[in-house]
Amino acid sequence: MQIEERVRELVEEKIADRADLFIVRIKMHNNGILEILMDGDDGIAIEDCVQISRHVGFHLEEENAIDRAYRLEVSSPGIDTPLLLHRQYQKNIGRMVRVKGLEGDKREGKLIAVNDKSITIEEIKKEKGKKAVPQEAEIPLDNITETKVLISFK
């Protein structure tokens, strides 16, 4: 069994009673960092990350599952981390996003809807000499290479 699979089992075991929490990504990096990205429908508390880290760390040590030095990091995705899961899109409805397409094109707008096949954003289109108007655009998930939430400091 690969280490990522075992870690996923351990995390799922720890959060089994917490339907609001979910795994975003588990990755063992070549530099020895075992990264567990967690999130929640209403965010995730530091204490939740601590509990998951203790649970996973304890079991990995007990099982001697990793045969080299490693560092376990449990955190929530940072501001600059692209959305990876459908559940993350759901959580961010109403926020501004930047979507990169397969052709390298970029679009920005408010995320207003998500389904299994696409997302819908409300873009502000401005034509020369005319007032800017909001316009809905449906973007198939298959055409998206990256979606990031935009943070406004206004």
Ordered structural domains, the chain, with CATH: 3-75 (3.30.300.20), 86-149 (2.30.30.100)
Phi (first) and psi of residue 37, to 5 degrees: -100, 125
Query: Whole-angstrom Cα distance, residue 56 to residue 74?
Result: 10
**Which residues are CB-contacts of 7 (< 8 A; sequence separation ≥ 6)?**
26, 28, 34, 36, 56, 60
Torsion sign over Cα 148, 118, 122, 38: negative
Q: What is the pTM of this model?
A: 0.83
Tell me the pLDDT tens digit for each residue of 108-144. Answer: 999 999 999 999 999 988 778 888 889 999 999 999 9
* Amino acid letter, 10: L
State residue 1's pLDDT score: 63
Query: Whole-angstrom Cα distance, residue 87 to residue 120?
Result: 15
Closest CA to 38 of 9, 72, 71, 11: 11
State residue 102's pLDDT score: 94
Tell me the pLDDT tens digit for each residue of 56-101. Answer: 999 999 999 998 999 999 999 988 899 999 999 999 999 999 999 9
Give the CA distances from residue 95 to residues 20, 69, 110, 152, in Å, rounded to whole numbers and listed in that order. 20, 40, 5, 10
